[in-house]
Amino acid sequence: MGTPHNSADKGDIAKTVLMPGDPLRAKLIAETYLEDPKCFNEIRGMLGYTGTYKGKRISIMGHGMGIPSIGIYTYELFNIYDVDNIIRIGSAGALQDNVNMMDVVIAMSASTDSNYPEQFGVPGTFAPTADFGLLEKAVAAAREIGATFHVGNINSTDTFYRNDEVDTKLRDMGILCSDMEVAGLYCNAARAGKHALGILTISDHIFRHEGLTAEQRQTSFTQMMEIALKVASEV
């Protein structure tokens, strides 16, 4: 079967998929946490694996950078590969003073400056929102492991480099952090009638100019991974 972006056959991918942006992080998570992981995709270097976690069949696949990239991969997973649940596990830049490095943010909703929602033709402003069932499980899992976490509105932006004026306005509206993908995931899930959640780790603070190295981003987000895996094992 396959698509131009995914060589998997139908049935190779589990009903629940965890998706980091970096395909090497997908490989690391699969090899660290899954039993007997099997690679189902290598097209464009976007690695995907399926294995089991505590007896539950789970897939892990990269989604690349930005809403256009996650939009392609999650559309195919939801609509072609019959995936029911997608959990984005990625990094984000903090906007609020009380959101600190390595904190976990569970995205209840995702504001965006992207034009991606326009394709659905919804009058007014569509509000991309998490699946409450997944969100509720993630909150419970975060409490169980004692993670420092925040739940609320995030911003999914098309512009990684931008001026401080925009970020100041987002902070003033209570936006917790910025990523580049969650809003696209939530739109695709809504249209497909499926379930989605974004769980993010703070890798830098936009106003304090703090940041992790690329290696730290790839290897140190263990609490986020544990929360996401627990959620995935329960759906």
9 is catalytic: no
CA distances from 124 to 52, 118, 120, 127, 155 (A): 42, 10, 11, 10, 18
Which of 84, 113, 158, 204 is catalytic? The answer is 204
Give the CA-trace dihedral at 216, 174, 168, 116, to 10 degrees. 80
- What amino acid positions are annotated as catalytic residues? 204
